[in-house]
Structure 1
Amino acid sequence: MEFRFGIGAVRVNVTGQAALLSDVADRFRRDEGFALATLNLDHLVKLRRDRGFFEAYVRHELITADGNPVVWLSRLAGREVALLPGADLIVPLAREAVQQDVALAFIGGTTESLARAAKALQQLVPGLRVAARIAPTMGFDPNGAEAKAALDAVAESGAGLVFLALGAPKQEQLAARGRDLHPGMGFVSIGAGLDFLAGSQRRAPRLVRRLALEWLWRAGSDPARLAGRYVRCAAILPGHALRAWRMRHD
């Protein structure tokens, strides 16, 4: 589905995991890079208000639906897409990297959490090579000198796939910059995915996720930080639902 804004549009263009992995494998074989973003309601709120975020987002070749509301809106528009959160893509993409003999790198989190995440992921994916782990400093600017140094460092490490765990909009902006500096590399924005692997954050139980209530679980875990975010997300739903319905009947 295409989500339209005053300055352009963002489109979910990954229909399912099998199609995504096939596309990524082809890109690895051709030494062709990519940037992958996972669209959710919070991103839709930010995309309306932050031109820099929007300009970075539209440079991503691959966009998945991260969150049931994006899946439901797409279906309302007559476009069938699968729910593919960033956290759920880490292991499948790591396995594909092993199959294609591609090394992995992490940017985000702390030195300790990255070490734990690397160990956990290597246990889940035998043969995985983690070539670089970079924990940015506080106040990390994806457009600054530290960001360029981090991107250059992962390129020099020999990594071909980089997981970015910085949160939106920093991770998507860093991915777009990485595509410019190192066009042969793949960049995947995964939010809290590394923290889940490291055990720094606890993800909602599988049953809660199946019931599409992960947002409620997260809100209960940190209401002071997330309550306002979810109010803003709820506020944009009616407008997007109306546009999706119109797309279906165009």
Structure 2
Amino acid sequence: MTHLDYPRGYARARLPNGNRQSPAHASRSAVPGWLDPEDRPVFVTAHPPYFARIYVPPAGKGLAGHYEIGLTHQSRRDLLTDLEARIGRGRGFAVATLNLDHVVKLRHSARFREAYDAHSHIVADGNPIVWLARMAGQDVKLTPGSELVLPVAEMAARTGVSLGLFGGTPESLAQARTAIETHAPDARVANCLAPPVGFDPDGTDAEVFISTMQESDAAIWLLALGAPKQEILASRAFARMPDRGFLSVGAGLDFIAGCQRRAPGVVRSLALEWAWRMAGDPARLAPRYGKCIAILPKLAEAALLQRSELQGR
């Protein structure tokens, strides 16, 4: 069996007849090393391989044709260790952090699924994802993307590579840059790119920005656009620059810049950060979280189905 030389996330469709294929890259299952003889993804990391799967039900009724999202690392520590090892070897990565809002969008957007399928690393960002994985019999730790900004800055400083920041406004990026360089004095932010309002990650502006990234000294880019824009941009940039790192961090740059206030620790410990955020912006976030809550029963059903399948092996 031939192994891939880096961990791959995957989003594959389970067809009604029980076969699986990638929704966007059906031919990938034929690539040597993509699947082992028992039809399981193979991940080669700095640690022994670990992965879990989240079943994503289709937009219609029932569970036939659901998607599987592979979580490539159990914890933040495992993820960061792997990323640092890759950067040290001159290899890149694209990190997506799966949360319930992503699941809702993945059910309806083939383009978003295609972008997820192109990511090398996927971790659990959001307590519901952790709970669903555990309900399915898989031990996964919470790894919020917004909490990866400063640890990745420290990693960049240790490995001697530069960072690039993408998203927000010139003012917020300048504040984020100051926060990063204050927290990790040896870290260097080589570029700060603020896209225009209405930025399309599949548009001509994106092509210009990707070319700018390619010309930059930055080896790791922190993308703060929100989903699905940041994941689509990451997938495109990673395809062009497989030796660079791309990490989608959502509001992470705004948090360290002080442009957005993070929920207090006690609120986060109670898994109520979503309520805190919704209270601050109900018009925008109430519909989003309403869709997330509405899909939970179906996700729980899918997780129990997955658990029964795992126990039956």
**Which TM-score bucket, shorter chain as reference?**
over 0.9
Secondary structure of 2:148's match?
Answer: helix
Cα-to-partner distance string for 1:139-184 (whole Å, 9 max, x where unaligned): 1111122212212222322111000000111000000000111111
- 207, 218, 224: which is aligned to 1:148? 207
Q: Please state if 1:93 is matched with 2:152.
A: yes
Residue of structure 2 equivalent to 1:163: 222
Work out the CA distance in 2 between the residues paired with 1:96 and 1:199: 22
Residue of structure 1 equivalent to 2:12: none
Secondary structure of 2:261's match?
Answer: coil
User: Higher Cα Rg: structure 1 or 2?
Assistant: 2
Cα-to-partner distance string for 1:100-153 (whole Å, 9 max, x where unaligned): 111000110000000000001111112001000000011111112221221222
Secondary structure of 2:250's match?
Answer: coil
Equivalent residues, number: 250
Q: Please state if 1:73 is matched with 2:144.
A: no
Secondary structure of 1:136's match?
Answer: coil
Higher RCO (C-alpha 8 Å, min separation 6)? 1
Work out the CA distance in 1 between the residues paired with 2:248 and 2:117: 14
Residue of structure 1 equivalent to 2:88: 29
TM-score, structure 2 length as denominator?
0.78
Superposed counterparts of 1:202-241, under 5 Å: 202-241=261-300
Superposed counterparts of 1:70-149, under 5 Å: 70-149=129-208
Residue of structure 1 equivalent to 2:54: 2
Amino acid at match of 1:27: R
Q: Could you tell me whether the CA contact under 8 Å between 1:131 and 1:154 is conserved in 2?
A: no
Paired-residue identity, %: 50
Range moving further from structure 2, 149-158 or 198-207: 149-158
Q: Please state if 1:244 is matched with 2:303.
A: yes
Q: Which runs of 5+ in 1 are unaligned?
A: none
Shift of 1:7: 6.9
Whose helix proportion is higher, 1 or 2? 1
Cα-to-partner distance string for 1:12-55 (whole Å, 9 max, x where unaligned): 22201121111101110221111101111100000001110111
Q: Could you tell me whether the CA contact under 8 Å between 2:54 and 2:132 is conserved in 1?
A: no
Amino acid at match of 1:232: K
The two structures, once aligned, show a CA RMSD in angstroms of 1.2
Residue of structure 1 equivalent to 2:250: 191
Q: Which runs of 4+ in 1 moved over 2 A?
A: 1-9
Work out the CA distance in 1 between the residues paired with 2:88 and 2:66: 35
Residue of structure 2 equivalent to 1:11: 70
Amino acid at match of 1:17: R
Secondary structure of 1:3's match?
Answer: strand
Q: Could you tell me whether the CA contact under 8 Å between 2:124 and 2:141 is conserved in 1?
A: yes
Q: Which runs of 5+ in 2 are unaligned?
A: 1-52, 59-64
TM-score, structure 1 length as denominator?
0.97
Residue of structure 2 equivalent to 1:60: 119
